[in-house]
Amino acid sequence: MIPETIRLRREEQATFRLRQLYEAYGYAQYKMSKFEEYDLYVRNKSFLVSDNVITFTDTNGRLMALKPDVTLSIVKNTKDTPGARRKVYYNENVYRVAGSSRAFKEILQTGLECIGAVDDYAIAEVLSLARESLALISPDHMLNVSHLGILSDVLDRVGVSPDGRTALLGHIGHKNRHDAEAVCNAEGIPPARRAPLGALMAICSAPREALEALAALYDDDAWRARIAQLSRILSVLPGERVRLDFSVVNDMNYYSGLVFQGFVNGIPESILSGGQYDRLMERMGHSAAAVGFAVYLSHLEALEEAPSAYDVDTVLLYDADTPPDALLGAVRALTAEGVTVSAQRSLAPKQRARRVLRWQAGELKEVTSC
């Protein structure tokens, strides 16, 4: 048994904890090959974080790709079954261009997908699991939640052209109210009609406060129904470390409804991303709905502690005539205390240890510290 005090790397700890969390809610593990046919990704490039994909030709002439994404594979291999709900989680390496280096990297990614008869409870469960996933990684986290249905409804009511809508979505994503106003001016939209859009862009607060601000934007049954549904879903979340923020804008060609991003202190980019992707399902020939998220565990490298000044906690020196069973018993007793031990005949050159012990006459004796 490995003592709890022997630390695994953060991403290893997170992998075990997240797997236990997801299985507790009935999610089954999904395993996939390292590669898929390239055509799957080229047809859905805008759904990917990066459209750079590593390709190769296999022995039968098919163009294959090292997988840059897991969700597309899950959707491809899911059959529509009316009334049924498929719940899977995964722990896979994906291969994509990462960060400003513009170099391909192998990225460890864990996530889950709920596909099929997705109702308010299923969405709320996934959202709650996203928040719990962040909490397992770090107590200092924040989950930003948006709703593309509400955002789309506001843009419809404002009444912008398709080009104006595209421009506004970009400005909303960057919280650029000045340029959003410029688009509205160019489209000739009166101040009273554009005012709800400005109010929506200003929302960035805890759910209760944000829902009150949303409810005040319009006064009709359809709007009240939207806010009531969002309120029901958000009711599963604690009031702290969650905020409603409509700058979370995903590709509306694929996503609909709730979308969200998760952050932890010490990492400059989102470590979790997800939402409802009903439109992706439709584009891939499915009638079912879907919601899920991915956790980018490789980002946790930024949180790794500085390397230890020591190679091992304890070096245990012994003589040639030391009984193996007695020596192993001493090693086990030390490791049971949560320290790492290296039993050696002599101290290696430049060996760095917190302390050095010697097995002598059936006893452990302190030799030195180094």
Side by side, the strands of the sheet bearing 272-276 are 28-29, 85-98, 103-116, 289-296, 272-276, 258-264, 141-147, 242-245, 204-205
CATH for the 1-140+265-305 domain, from 3.60.15.10, 3.60.21.10, 3.20.20.140, 3.30.930.10? 3.30.930.10
In this prediction, residue 99 carries a pLDDT of 57
Euclidean distance between CA atoms 279 and 124, whole angstroms: 19
Residue 238 has pLDDT above 60, yes or no: yes
Lowest mean pLDDT among 48-52, 128-132, 271-275: 48-52
pLDDT category at 348 given cuts 50, 70, 90 is: confident
Q: How far apart (Å, rounded) are the C-alpha atoms in residues 94 and 358?
A: 47
Q: Which is more confident, 287 or 239?
A: 287
Check: CB of residue 42 under 8 Å from CB of residue 112: no
Confidence band for 34, pLDDT divided at 50, 70 and 90? confident
- Flag whether pLDDT at 5 surpasses 70: no
Residue 61 backbone class (left: φ over 0; alpha: ψ -120 to 50; beta: rest)? left
pLDDT at 365: 83
Q: Is 159 helix (H, G, I), strand (E, B) or coil?
A: coil
Domain ranges of the chain: 1-140+265-305, 146-246, 312-368
Both structure tokens of 106: 């192998």
| Cβ-based neighbours of 153, under 8 Å, separated by 6 or more | 222, 223, 226
pLDDT band of residue 4 (cuts 50, 70, 90) is very low
Structure-token pair, residue 66: 């090292």
Query: What is the pLDDT at residue 16?
Result: 87
Amino acid at 157: R
Share of the chain above pLDDT 70, in %: 91
How sure is the predictor about 154, in pLDDT bands with cuts at 50, 70 and 90? very high
C-alpha distance from residue 74 to each of 12, 120, 234, 269, 272 (Å): 24, 22, 27, 25, 18
For every residue of 63-106, which 3-state class applies, written as one string?
EEEECCCCHHHHHHCCCCCCCCEEEEEEEEEEEEEEHHHCEEEE
Structural element, H or E, at residue 201: helix 191-202
Of residues 145 and 96, which shows the higher confidence score? 145
Q: Given pLDDT bands bounded at 50, 70 and 90, which one contains residue 33?
A: confident
* 213 pLDDT higher than 90: yes
- Residue pair 251/152 in contact (Cβ under 8 Å)? The answer is no
> Between the CA atoms of 63, 68, 71 and 76, what dihedral angle is there, to the nearest 10 degrees?
0
d(CA 330, CA 317): 11
Q: What is the largest CA-CA distance in the chain?
A: 93
Which of 69-78, 156-165, 209-218 is the least confident region? 69-78
How would residue 307 be classed by pLDDT, with cut points 50, 70 and 90? Answer: low
Contacts of 281 (CB under 8 A, 6+ apart): 75, 115, 287, 288, 289, 290
